[in-house]
Every structure is written in structure tokens, then in C-alpha cells.
Structure 1
Amino acid sequence: MAPAQTARRRALATLGQIVDSLEAALFTGREREMTVLRAWLRDTTSAPPRIVNVTGPAGMGKTALVRALHREAVGGDREGAVVDLGSIDPSPDSLLAAMAGTGQGDVLARINASRPLIVLDQFEPSGALSGYIHDELLPGLDAGVKVVISGRRPLNEAWARHGVWNALVHPMPLAGLLRGEARAYLGARGLTDARVVAQILQATGGHPLALALAADMTTQLGIADFGAMAEWRLVVSSLAGRLLQEVDDGELRDVIQACSLVRQFDESVLGAVSGRGHVSDAFDRLCHLSVVRPSGHGLALHDDVRHIVAADLRWRNPERHRQQRRQALAHYRDRLNRAVSPEQRGWLVSDCFYLLESELLHQWAFDRHERQGSWVDKAAGEGRQDALRLLVTLGSSLRCSDEELSPDTLAALLEHAGTDVRILRDADGVASAFCLVVPVSGETMPLLPPAGVELMRAYWSEDDLAALPRCSADSTAYLVSRVVGPPAAEGGPEAAALARDILGIYARGGTYFLSTSSPVDQTVARILGYERLPEAEVRPAAGGMPVDGLVLDLSLIGLGPWLEAVIEGRPPPRALRPADVERELRAVLVGWRDDAVLERSPLVGLVPCLSGDAAPDRAAALRAGLLDALATARAEAGEGDELAYRAVELAYLDGSVSNERAAERLALSRSSFYRALRRGVSGINAVLCRS
């Protein structure tokens, strides 16, 4: 122990002071909350007075935060008391004694005279003291008394019928610690090994109690590889149980575990993922749990609860974890097929990507610490010009060459009505990042940045370029710009809302081009299945990072097969043009009985995979899909083409006769048989390409 610390310990008179000193040394982070609380504590002019309501699931650090505030208040010569409502006798006299101690005269009068800080910790709306606190204690306190009430559930829910009281409550919901804060806490605990710290940060997700337990285990056991420590799985399981301590129904706990695999859920999502037919009652009960909050499209588990509960399920029952993820994806795909509005299709695709277990993608688009109050503006009119002002302001710090996106190019694109401009704004409406989605057409080709044009020339033939629609409204191809924002925030929580919004654009289908020098954007593009074209790389004339050219052609891959592949962590099917499809079709027909040939075929992505609890049999799915295509081609063909499809069946599918014998059966010469065979393959190919 350092000499200064030793001297301070000796100067402390009581065990309580020693405990306070240890707590103060280990309390890190929560700077945003402490800044608000300090200003509130100093404020003596606000009317009406405010009651601060600190909320969050178990282990989120509510008590640590309010005790830190209490220490600062008492250290600044303000009287104060922290009352643990869970540990006192639930009577008004015990509460008043805990607040003001024993003494002569009216207790409330003494409290009002000193105007202390009163912290009521572990508050439960259904607790025995709830009515007394609301109906008698708070109305009797002087406006100068500062009151903090902390607990799992917000006061606004408990006091919803009292509109006036709601106006006095300042909500302060807690989430997990930011990465920097969590790193600082581990440093204060003496953990400095970068590898172990990184493993703990990933395992705990910034949950304060999980961090404390992980630090305890690591320091006490001398762990050098936290990721390999089996005991941590038991801790996670215990944490999950503690977080769900208010749920004593086993079936409801199972439903909550299913909820942890998706970003948000309504009744239909809940039923599909959990595999239960009727979930209306469970959904209603979930609405009243402290670990559940409203979301944009239903309900959602508290972010930090979701992280731990999902990790527990993944460890305890990995097969169920995989099965429920597959059920969630199947449900989203089914809803996508039925969805009509672009807005609904967009958020469904975005939520699909929450199922992808990629730490980088989750940090990019679903970070639990994204800035509160930020929103994405589909900018129109003068508001679009904020994108240009942001690009100019960032200047050289952005390291974005003119070949990638210059101010002049951006200005021209902003003037084009068809350009989709998405600007991330904070709660005050200030722009902090933006992205463009430009339809590729005869109108926009002269406006595009040089790197984007080079990419399209590398991917498309001259005939393809000549066939581009003249109007942007008719285009199904898009140039997606890099995410333009402060370099220090790239890939972090600050722009997560914009990144998540961008994922929704892929619901349109079509072809997507991305020219970017941003390493984060390049990595995300690879996760999403973009193909890099080496011949499209552009090296800026003024030096700097080369601009990569990447393409994702959903017009050839298909939205469903692409989503399925990416979510399962597989490379998406190759984008096949009609000539490629026919070549692969011939290879599959030749190897019709060889499962290995069929499983490796890029054509697997063109047919729906078999559904069910087991992993899909890709060879069987491809055979079934090609037989369906054969039946469709035959039904649409004229009588003269029936021989062509019989030739395909005899030559490839039957396999019991040689081509010579097949030609004899059809009463065709060898040359006529092979011409019929080519027509049959071409007919099936046309059906596949059309689908």
C-alpha cells in the first residue's frame, strides 16, 4: 500500500469511514450522472423542486451512485442520510428515525430545518412504505430538502395516476458502464493485463456487478486467461437469476430468455422465438416487469439484462440458443415477405442483424451506450445542407479524399432530389454524422464521386451502363457513402442510431456500391457480404488511404438467402448472372446424385432451404428447388418443348440409361437430343434467374 494511503487509513476514526474510503476509491465512471446530480444538489432556485429517481435492474450500480452523491454532499458540509428501505422495519417511525436519528421534537420539523439530502434506496412501489412516502412523507418535506429515490422501477409508473407528482420526478435510468469507465474500474482493482481486461469487458458488457465479480475472481484466482475460466459461466448463471429475481414463474423465465435473443419484440415475435402458441398472457405480464421497457416496435429487455441472460442461455443450452435464433430469423423473413411499407421492411431487416453474433457489428449498430436522444433525420430542404457544413467542418481530420467525396460533389448530390440524405442529430437537433444513399441513374452518373464511377465501371459492362434508367425514381442500384462523422467516434456508440438506420436500406433489394477508405466501413461491409473488387481500388492523387470498391448485388443473390447466410456467419451466395447460373446448373445436373457437389453449389442460394428444427439439408433443398423449377418451366412451355424436359430427366435425373439410349427412347438423333437437352437446361435456367 502506498505511504499516502497508509497515512489516510490511520487518520480514519471508524470502520464506517474506512468503508466509505474504499467505496470512494473504487467508484469510477458515471460522470454524466454525477454532473447532473451535482448541479441539482446546488440548485436552490428551481420551482417546483425535483425528486431524482435513479432506476435500473439489479446490480446496475444504483446504490453505488447514490452513496457517492451522499459522500460528496456530506463532504461539502451538507447533512444527509442514506436509508436502505429493504433493511429497516417497514414502519413510518423506523423510516423517520433512519432519516433523522433520535431526538427531541417533531422529526419532520428537524429535517425541514436542516434541509439535508435524503436518499431512499431499494424503493419498491408495492412495498409497505410506498403509500406513506407518497401520501405523507414527501408532502410534508420542505422544498429545500433534496430527495433521491432509487429502485428497480420508475416512480412515474407507480404514481401514474398522480399527474402533479409525475411533474416533480426527474428520471435517471442507469445502463452499464461505458467501455472507458469499465476499463478505469478494472484499473482501480489492479487489473492491467490488456488481454484479460479485454476479455472481461466483452464478457460483462459493462454491467457493474458483473465487472466486480469478474475482478474478484481474476485477482483472487490469479487468472491469466479469463476467457477460458469455466467458473465464470456459473457466475453469469447466478447473475441472470438475480436479474430476474422478480420472476418466480418458470415458464415466464423461459419466455424472457427467448426475448434476450432479439432486439425488441411484440406478441408475434415472442410467440415465434419462444415456440409457444399463445403468449398474450405472458406478454401482458412482461409489460409490468422492471427489466422490460417500451421500444419503438413493442417491448425490449433492458440492454444489460439482455446481454447477461442471452450469455447464460448460450452456455447452459447452446442447442436451444441456436434453435431460437433460427426461429427468430424465420419469423423476420416471413414478416418481410408480408410487409408492405418501406419503413416496416427497414426496421425488420435492421432487427435481423441483431441476431448476428458479431461483436464489431453490435458495437457499430446496437451499442448499449449509444447517445440518448439521438435520432436520424431523413433530411429535406435546407436541413440537407447540414451534411455539407459537417463535411467542411471536419476537413482534413476526416481523411476523406476528393476521389471519395469532395465538398463540391456532396453539394451537387444534395441538390439532386433523389438523393437519400440521412443525418444523425442529437437531442438539440445538432448534426453529428451523415450518410448518403444515391440511386444510380442517368441523372446521377455525372454527379457521382470519381471512386464510385470507377467502381461501377469495374462491375458493369458498357451495355449495363448504357441500360441504366434515366430517372432516379426507376433505379434499383444505389451508391452508399461512408458514414461521415468525427473520426474519434468512428465505429463507436455515438453513431449507432445512424448505423442501425443504414442497415434498413437493404430491405429494398437491388445492387449496392460502396467506395470507402474507412477501415470500419470496410470491415462492416465484409461482414455484410460485400465483394471487394481489386480493380476498382482508387489511390487518391493527393495521397492518403486508398479507396476500396465493394459491391453487394442482392438483385442476383436475393434478400432472403443473403440474410440467412450473413446471420449464420456464412459467406452469402455468389452473385450469379444468367450465364453463371446456367453454367452452375449444368454442373449440378451432372453431379445430381453427389451431395457434396450440390452442397458446394452457388445455386443453393437461389432456392429456399428446408425449414424445421434441424439444420437444413442443402443438397435436398437444392434438388427440391430444381425439380420445382423444372415443373414450372414445363408448365409454361409449349408442346414442342416437352421433349426438351424429358431429355433433361433421362440424361441427368434418371441416370439409369446412357445418353445414346435416352435419344433412342425419345426417337431423336444424337444431334437433336443434345439440342433438346440444351433447350431444357435453358428453360430451367430462365425460371431460376427469374426467381
Structure 2
Amino acid sequence: MPMTSLFQRLSAERNRRFVGRGRELELFLHTIASRELPFHILQVCGPGGVGKTSLMKQFLRFCERSKIPAIYVEARNIEAAPESFISTLHSLMELNESDSPLHVLAQRQERNVILIDTYEAITQLDEWLREVFLPHLSVNTLIVIAGRNPPSSPWCSDPGWQALMHTLSLRNLTPEESQTYLTIRDIPTTQHQAILDFTHGHPLALSLVAEVFAQAKEISFQAESAPNVVKTLLERFVKEVPTPAHRMALEACAVVRLTTEASLNQILAVPENTSASEIQFLGEILDVHDLFEWLRGLSFIESGQWGLFPHDLAREVLIADLRWRNPEFYTELHHRARQYYTKRLGQTQGAEKHRVLLDYIFLHRDNSDIRSCFTWGEQSGLLIDSLRETDTTALLLMVAQYEGEESAKIAAHWLQRQPQNVVVFRDSHSEPAGFAMMVALHTATVEDLTADPGAIASWQYLQTHAALRKSEGATIFRFWMARDTYQVVSPTQSLIFINFVQYFQKTPGLAYTFLPCAQADTWAAMLNYFDLVRLPEADFTVGGRYYGVYGHDWRIVSPTTWQEILAQKEVGTAVESVDQTPASEPLLVFSQPEFVEAVQNVLRNFNRPDALQNNPLVRSRSVCEVHSRLMSEQVATKASMSQSLKETLLSEKSPSGHLRDSCGRQSQRVKALQHLVKQAVESLQSSPRDEKLYRAVYRTYLNPAPTQEQAAELLDLPFSTYRRHLKAGVMRVADILWRREIN
């Protein structure tokens, strides 16, 4: 039958583009068809743009198709007063002037439906509707209320309304439903994944992005390239932000994985060097408790066991808007959050430390290589435990299932030889949901190593390319897997990777780590981001299965330096290495005799920077770390990060950011080398036994006399005694620096 009106065409298009919501529609159809209504109030709640109105229109359409009288009230168009509500019903029901809508509705014997949309606009009527209007309606009336917020506490605490009410929390469309919608809208399939990654199935976001493609077919979607989409979504999520402090709290909540009142207090702390008048002003607007409670009340913010977090799309939109509008403050928030988590890492243990590490790594979530390799939920429900005797069978069955019987025999060998190096992740029934086995290569016997192709390949790589020094260790994360998903992305895999990070942070003397992967290419982008290098020479085969290996030398890039590299990558700064040393000049790993010889050369040429440029210690790890710290202190002095936060609070203008410098030119590293050696020499003064050694070294190298004979005279020592003190002093300085280098 041909369409005769624009209304019919409009309705047809709306229906054609409506996808999903099968469970909700089935519930509604079953309810209106029931002989006796199973409930009388259907509460539909969800954040702005999630599709509440579209669903209400479908409910209305089903009523029309079933010949059931229905009234649709758009609450945005009425005043929040009983008289206005009654007047609207009177008009929609087309009653005579003398008729009472409440009386007519109370007398209805047939099934009828009242749909109230955008209920948050008339929340002032909540008590009146609940206590006065609704109780007088016919028992055949179904009332559907759609709004951003869940039912208020009086609805939930009243036992009568509890029995007569059903709540539907409307969520985003599933990936399959979202793809169906994009196909209906003729969006190129090559763009589907990028759109899904941004929208997370949010109906309004999908619709807005589809309109972008309708205007320009040949585009590649990125959130940053569609600021109008972001702006529209932001307005749907956040109707009003009361103050600059509220906006800052909202942006901080978007940047971090979970927001607690404590973390919010640290991230939004009043900056140092703030004047008394500014402190008073900032104190008034930075009531962190009130800010936290305001966040908790937003429709798109969820409350979990460990803190608050935004819905996925709300987070994407807030971050996209902040990076576009104020990239400097985006960097500032990351800096402050990172400082908070770094401090917390030193204060926590066990499962709590794992949560903090996940919070820390979450700061890198904006990078697509990292985002896809972790599950970011509030918690996985997994418990972290050591190996129990009863676990052996289950763990070996996992290995056999995914890697074969030959690998299971190797795993059994290591379970017997190094059981203390196994971490088990348990489900809610205390059963192993996955495990990780860290094999310490340096404590293994030759027989142990030769029993495992993976271990011997890593050990041989060390002997050829990165031999261990005395007191140093190396580990291969030999087996790691989840019971149900093996090595693919999952909550268990995410927790395993977090455990790896914790392992190398807390293990003293760790020089090298190896990570074998069954699908090495799958993890290439993420592992390279985290500064793990592909080592084809260490690859191995077991039972016909090939494993690609990644590795990291912690003597070249220590955990501290590694964190600095990641800090720069975190907000998009391109970083090759912490000191930007050319690839042909990597940091050096010294043997102890080589190191002592280099220290002696530094002392002999201490006051000749040109000569020190060729000293190999300028490419040592400890010198690079000292230089990085000194440069950071200089930057902090010139441009305080806290000042930028203060300016944002006071004026809402873009704060001035700063870029952390890294080890730079050769001459700058020479200064760091001199600083490090001078520090080591001066440390001799702290010991009465070493003070005489300090004087000999000081008068010979740091503030030298013209000749060694004159140095002995100035120290009032026989020349032979002076020479003995000098030799002992040089060796003490070398020992101090060596211990710093290897630790």
C-alpha cells in the first residue's frame, strides 16, 4: 500500500533504522497482551542518547498495532506542576472541556498505556505522581516512565510499589546490533571497527557518525576529526557543569580507570606557591567530597566496588573533547594521576597492588595498541595466589590442552624444580582460572636448562648477547595462560601481564626477562610499546609448536627509566629511548673490570670535559638516569606543572604544560657523569675510615694539586701512604658506582 503522507514515510524510516532491543520489546509485548498486568509501572532508565525515546516510540507503535489506547507524554514540553500535567493529558486525550482526565482514566475497563518520556524534566512531580495520580488509575493501565535516572528511593523502599514495578536499565547496542545499524546506514564495512571502538554501540553516537558519512562518504573516521559529534554527545551526557572545579573533576574521572575520593583529592590538590587569596578561592570551589558526590549522581557515572567510572562512550567523548579543547591540561591530569599511582605502588601489596598497577597502565589506554590488549573492567573477580599441591593436575591439563603433551612434561619439570615461581589466578570457586610460571634461569642447573628448549634458547642468547654479571639474574616467563582463553585478551591475561610488571619491579638484581608467545605477531605492537624487543635468536619449538620470544635488558633500561619512557609515551610524545641515543650507540653493559677502568679514566680526566666525551660511562645506565633526573628538575624549576593547574582553576584558560626532557647531547651527559662521580667521591666523607681516602682522591682529581708529590705534601702524608690511600680511594669510588650501575 503506497504511503500517502510524510508522517507515514517518517514512521517507516524510523522503524527501518530501529535495531536491537529484542529483550525489551518482547517484555513489553508480553506485558500488554497479558490477561492481568504482571506489573503496572515499567521504569526505563539510561544515560542520554542511549535510545530511550526510540524505544518508547516502538512501544507506542506496538500499542497502535494491537489497537490498545496509548498516550505519549513528552515531559520536556510541560511545566513540572500537577496542573500542567493534567492539562497535557486533557489535550492528548481530546476530552471535552468539562471532562476530568483522571476520572476518565480511572473508569477505563480495557487495557491502556501511558508513556512518559524524559521523566528527569519533571522529577518535581515524582511524589505527586506516586502518591496522588497513579494510585487512582485503572488496574488495566500500564505506565511506562523513561528517564536518565533510576527510580528514586521512595519507589524502591515502598513494598507496594516494589511489587508493582519493573525496571529496565537500557544499555548500548551489542557489536552485532551496531554493525547491523551501520549496514542499514550504508557505512563502508572498512570503517565499522573504528566506529564501534569509539561509539561502543551507543545509539545516538552511531546515528551521529552515520550522518558524518552521509555528508562525506570518502572519509576515515576518527573522533578528533568530528568535533561536532563529540560536542553533541557531550551535551547529551552533561547538561550543565556548575563550576570549573566540577569540569576538572569530570575530566579527571574520564582520564583514570576508577575514581575515589582520595584519588580525586590528590589529582585536584591545591597547587603549591599559591597566594593566600587564591587558596581561599580555590578552597571554596575544591570541596572534593561535594565534587565526588556530584559525580556519583550523574546518569552516565557508575558506582562499583572500588570507585566511580564513566560509561565507555562518555569516557571517550570527555577525553576526545579535552584533548581537542585543552591538550595541556589533559597532559597535566595524566601527570598528576601518574604521581598518585606511583606513590600508591610503594604503599600497597598483593591484590591491591595489582589494582593500582592496572590503574597505572590504564593511563596508556588512549593508545590503540594498548587499549585492545587489556580488559579494563573494574575487577575480574580473580584472586591471586601461590601454587598449591592440589593445583598441579589442573595446571598441567591447561598446558597439555593448549601446547601439547611435550610442553606439559616440561611444565611438570619446572613445577617440581621452581614451585615458588608460580602464580595462580583463582576463580570464585578457588579453582585455577590461569597461571604464570617465571623460571629463574640463573639458578637453574645445566640439566634443568637442557630439559627445556625454551629455557636453553634464552640462556644461550644471554651467553652470546647479554652475559649476566655477578649477582645478576634472568627470568623467562615460561608458561602463561588462561584456562578458557589461553593467551588471547581476557581478564586473566590482563592480570598475568600486570603480574609480570610487578615481578620485574620487585625482583632485585633482575638483569633480563624473556617472554615467549604462541602468537608472537599478535602482541608485537603492545610489547614494542612497552619496550620489549623481538628476539628471533631465542625462538624455540616444542611438540611442533613455534614460540616467538620478546626480551628486555633491565641493565640498559632500568625499571625507573622504563617508567619515564612510558610516561612520555602516555600522552602521545614520540620517544625512541630515554636518552635518544642513536641506534648504533645503545647503552653499554659493562663487566666489572671494564667499569673500573672507565671510572679510573673519568677521575684522571675529571676536569677535562672534552676528554670525557669519549669515556664509555657516558653510555652507562646510571649516568643516563642521573641526567634524566637532573633535566627533569630543571624543567620543573622553569615551568611548574602545579602552576598550570592553578591557572585552569582560576581562569578556565588552557594551562601551560611542559615536556619532560630526556638524556640529550653528549656534553650534557658528560655533566651528568661528573655529577655522579663527584657524588660518589663525596660520599666517602660519611665514614671516618674512608675520609682519608676522600682527601687523597679530592686533592688528586677533583681539586688537584699540580703534582702528586705536592698533593701528598698538602695532605701531610708520606708519598707511599698517600699513594696507598689514593689507590684505595679510587677502588672505593669504583665500587660505589659499580653497585649503583648493577642495582
TM interval, shorter chain, is 0.7 to 0.9
Partner of residue 260, structure 1: 254
Partner of residue 10, structure 2: 19
Deviation of 1:172 after TM superposition, in Å, equals 4.0
Contiguous gaps of at least 5 residues in structure 2: 272-285, 570-574, 579-585, 642-657, 713-718
Partner of residue 420, structure 1: 423
Deviation of 1:149 after TM superposition, in Å, equals 2.8
Partner of residue 4, structure 1: none
Distance change in 2, residues 1:309/1:468 (3 Å): closer
User: Residue 515 of structure 2: SS of its match in structure 1?
Assistant: strand
Deviation of 1:62 after TM superposition, in Å, equals 2.4
Partner of residue 549, structure 2: 549
User: Residue 289 of structure 1: SS of its match in structure 2?
Assistant: coil
Partner of residue 238, structure 2: 244
Instruction: Write the mapping of 1:420-569 to structure 2, written as runs, cut at 5 A.
Output: 420-422=423-425, 434-440=433-439, 450=452, 452-454=454-456, 456-458=458-460, 479=478, 481-483=480-482, 485-486=484-485, 490-491=488-489, 495-496=490-491, 499=494, 502-503=497-498, 506-508=501-503, 509=505, 510=507, 513-518=514-519, 519-542=521-544, 544=545, 546-552=546-552, 558-569=558-569
| Contact 1:125–1:155 (Cα < 8 Å) also in 2 | no
Give the AA of the match of 1:638: D
Q: Deviations over 1:49-85 (max 9, x none)?
A: 4855433322222222343455456546666554322
Report which stretch shifted further, 549-558 or 286-295.
549-558
Q: Deviations over 1:197-216 (max 9, x none)?
A: 44444454543323222221
Contiguous gaps of at least 5 residues in structure 1: 1-9, 470-474
Report which stretch shifted further, 204-213 or 666-675.
666-675
Deviation of 1:481 after TM superposition, in Å, equals 0.3
Deviation of 1:128 after TM superposition, in Å, equals 3.1
| Contact 1:455–1:550 (Cα < 8 Å) also in 2 | no
Report which stretch shifted further, 531-540 or 665-674.
665-674
Considering only aligned residues, what root-mean-square deviation do their CA atoms show, in Å?
5.1
Deviation of 1:265 after TM superposition, in Å, equals 1.6
| Contact 2:516–2:550 (Cα < 8 Å) also in 1 | yes
| Contact 1:261–1:355 (Cα < 8 Å) also in 2 | yes
| Contact 2:383–2:427 (Cα < 8 Å) also in 1 | yes
Deviation of 1:285 after TM superposition, in Å, equals 2.7
Q: Deviations over 1:522-553 (max 9, x none)?
A: 543333333433232113443x5x21223456
> Are 2:120 and 1:124 equivalent residues in the alignment?
yes
> Are 2:357 and 1:349 equivalent residues in the alignment?
yes
Q: Deviations over 1:337-391 (max 9, x none)?
A: 2x13322221111111111132232233245xx6x99632447989969966994
| Contact 1:96–1:107 (Cα < 8 Å) also in 2 | no
Report which stretch shifted further, 410-419 or 672-681.
410-419
* TM-score, scaled relative to structure 1: 0.75
Instruction: Write the mapping of 1:635-650 to structure 2, written as runs, cut at 5 A.
Output: 635=686, 638-642=690-694, 646=698, 650=702
How far, CA to CA, are the matches of 1:184 and 1:14 in structure 2? 28
Deviation of 1:140 after TM superposition, in Å, equals 4.8
User: Residue 129 of structure 1: SS of its match in structure 2?
Assistant: helix
| Contact 2:555–2:589 (Cα < 8 Å) also in 1 | no
How far, CA to CA, are the matches of 1:417 and 1:641 in structure 2? 44
Deviation of 1:124 after TM superposition, in Å, equals 1.6
| Contact 1:451–1:547 (Cα < 8 Å) also in 2 | no
Give the AA of the match of 2:742: C
Partner of residue 50, structure 2: 60
Aligned pair partner of 2:206 in 208, 211, 220: 211
Distance change in 2, residues 1:347/1:99 (3 Å): farther
Aligned pair partner of 2:227 in 207, 212, 233: 233
How far, CA to CA, are the matches of 1:342 and 1:137 in structure 2? 55
Give the AA of the match of 1:681: A
> Are 2:328 and 1:322 equivalent residues in the alignment?
no
State percent identity of aligned pairs. Answer: 22
User: Residue 146 of structure 2: SS of its match in structure 1?
Assistant: strand
Aligned pair partner of 2:148 in 149, 152, 177: 152
Report which stretch shifted further, 403-412 or 504-513.
403-412
| Contact 1:240–1:309 (Cα < 8 Å) also in 2 | yes
> Are 2:729 and 1:680 equivalent residues in the alignment?
no
User: Residue 547 of structure 1: SS of its match in structure 2?
Assistant: strand
How far, CA to CA, are the matches of 2:312 and 2:739 in structure 1? 47
| Contact 2:589–2:620 (Cα < 8 Å) also in 1 | no
How far, CA to CA, are the matches of 1:382 and 1:79 in structure 2? 68
How far, CA to CA, are the matches of 1:555 and 1:143 in structure 2? 77
| Contact 1:88–1:94 (Cα < 8 Å) also in 2 | no
> Are 2:680 and 1:615 equivalent residues in the alignment?
no
Instruction: Write the mapping of 1:56-205 to structure 2, written as runs, cut at 5 A.
Output: 56-72=46-62, 74-75=64-65, 80-90=70-80, 91=82, 92-94=85-87, 96=89, 102=95, 106-109=103-106, 113-116=109-112, 118-124=114-120, 127-140=123-136, 146-156=142-152, 159=155, 162=158, 165=161, 170-192=166-188, 194=190, 196-205=191-200
Report which stretch shifted further, 154-163 or 668-677.
668-677
Which of 1 and 2 has greater Rg? 2
How far, CA to CA, are the matches of 1:44 and 1:98 in structure 2? 29
Deviation of 1:120 after TM superposition, in Å, equals 2.8
Distance change in 2, residues 1:330/1:118 (3 Å): same
> Are 2:325 and 1:334 equivalent residues in the alignment?
no
Give the AA of the match of 2:150: P
Distance change in 2, residues 1:82/1:541 (3 Å): same
User: Residue 515 of structure 1: SS of its match in structure 2?
Assistant: strand
Distance change in 2, residues 1:685/1:411 (3 Å): closer
Distance change in 2, residues 1:125/1:221 (3 Å): closer
Give the AA of the match of 1:420: V
| Contact 1:155–1:169 (Cα < 8 Å) also in 2 | no
Partner of residue 220, structure 1: 215
Partner of residue 267, structure 2: 273
| Contact 1:375–1:424 (Cα < 8 Å) also in 2 | yes
| Contact 2:198–2:316 (Cα < 8 Å) also in 1 | no
Q: Deviations over 1:126-185 (max 9, x none)?
A: 623222332244545677755543222221557465466457655544444444433332
Q: Deviations over 1:445-495 (max 9, x none)?
A: 9799946534653466699799999xxxxx9986550445448x943xxx2
Report which stretch shifted further, 31-40 or 323-332.
31-40
| Contact 1:409–1:448 (Cα < 8 Å) also in 2 | no
User: Residue 260 of structure 1: SS of its match in structure 2?
Assistant: helix
How far, CA to CA, are the matches of 2:161 and 2:380 in structure 1? 28
Report which stretch shifted further, 581-590 or 434-443.
581-590
| Contact 1:56–1:153 (Cα < 8 Å) also in 2 | yes
How far, CA to CA, are the matches of 1:466 and 1:675 in structure 2? 22
Deviation of 1:329 after TM superposition, in Å, equals 0.8
Give the AA of the match of 2:349: S
| Contact 2:453–2:541 (Cα < 8 Å) also in 1 | no
Q: Deviations over 1:293-343 (max 9, x none)?
A: 223333223322121011111011112211221121112112222x13322
Across the two proteins, how many residue pairs are aligned to each other?
647
How far, CA to CA, are the matches of 2:439 and 2:173 in structure 1? 43
Deviation of 1:516 after TM superposition, in Å, equals 1.7
Distance change in 2, residues 1:261/1:75 (3 Å): same
